[in-house]
Amino acid sequence: MGKRVLLVGESWVSEATHYKGFDSFTSVTFHSGADWYNAALRSKGHTVEQMYAHDVPARFPHNREELAAYDVIVLSDIGTNSFLLPIETWMQGKSTPNRLKLLADWVRDGGALIMAGGYLSFQGFEAKARFAGSHVEEVLPVTCLTHDDRVEVPEGAQPTVVDAAHPVLAGVSGAMPTLLGYNRVVLKPGSTLVATVGNDPLIATAQIGKGRSLVWTSDIGPHWCPEPFVQWAGFAPLMANMVDWVSSK
């Protein structure tokens, strides 16, 4: 049965300045890095709603009832500030719910959480994602580093399967293609390591109270997860299996 997935983040807005002799002008473009991922989940029967990064401060659920509309929450390339600084707090100085704590409590009570890697995942680029020490880190199967945790591998890094019998790998045949980077994290005691990249966790899972969590420490699309990976026949079943496992009770 298909799951209701909320993908949070994995989008950005870019501003460019164009110089033409004496004159210049700016342009603004919007980008989403989730097209391959969303298509993969939908091809396996899941329903995916993507909440773009710029919408997160205002639109991410503020209460348990709003979270209950989804079977799985996927955080991808979206830092803690977007959850901790809603418009009411940032602009109006009002008290608002701590949505990282809300999300962690939801997981403990039976929710399903996936964190994918990226420049604003785990601790992230220049440590700006800041999940280390957060309520969300408490319910992940890994511990975040406290500094810039990116591992850039432009020459390519080969993933290695550790637990071939894990349901996340069901129907996934052949070696995974190489990846171009990931976030370095530390496996927590009691968590299950499914696959590694370099000498670090790539896929790890954990039972958290009544719920489950999973991490995929590389990207869900280019650049860290390059086109040969997202075009690989195993990409769709692998990503869909993650959703299936984390939402199974």
CATH code at position 49: 3.40.50.880
In angstroms, the CA 229 to CA 218 distance is 11
Is the model's pLDDT at 214 over the cut of 90?
yes
Tell me the residue range of the domain where 137 lies: 4-16+27-246
Q: Which two tokens stand for residue 244?
A: 């299936």
Mean predicted lDDT score pLDDT of the chain = 97
Predicted pLDDT at 70: 98
The answer to whether residue 100 is domain-embedded is: yes
What average pLDDT score do residues 142-161 get?
Answer: 98
Percent of the chain exceeding pLDDT 90 equals: 98
What average pLDDT score do residues 57-75 get?
Answer: 97
Predicted pLDDT at 86: 95
Looking from the CA of 161 toward its CB, the CA atoms found within 13 Å total 15
Helix (H) or strand (E) holding 246: helix 235-246
The answer to whether residue 21 is domain-embedded is: no
Asked if 198 and 206 count as a contact pair (C-beta separation under 8 A), the reply is no
Predicted pLDDT at 230: 97
Predicted pLDDT at 52: 98
- The pTM for the full model equals 0.97
Pairing, β 179-183 against β 150-157: antiparallel
Distance from the Cα of residue 203 to its chain's centroid: 12
Q: Give the length of the chain.
A: 249
DSSP 153-177: EEEEE-EEES-TTSGGGTT--SPPP
Q: Domain count of the chain? A: 1
What average pLDDT score do residues 202-206 get?
Answer: 98
Confidence category of residue 1, pLDDT binned at 50, 70, 90: confident
Percent of the chain exceeding pLDDT 70 equals: 100
Per residue in 6-38, pLDDT (tens digit) is: 999 999 999 999 999 999 999 999 999 999 999
Helix (H) or strand (E) holding 29: strand 23-32
Predicted pLDDT at 249: 74
End-to-end, the C-alpha distance of the chain in Å comes to: 13
Residue 201, phi-psi category: left (phi > 0), alpha (psi -120 to 50), beta (remainder):
beta
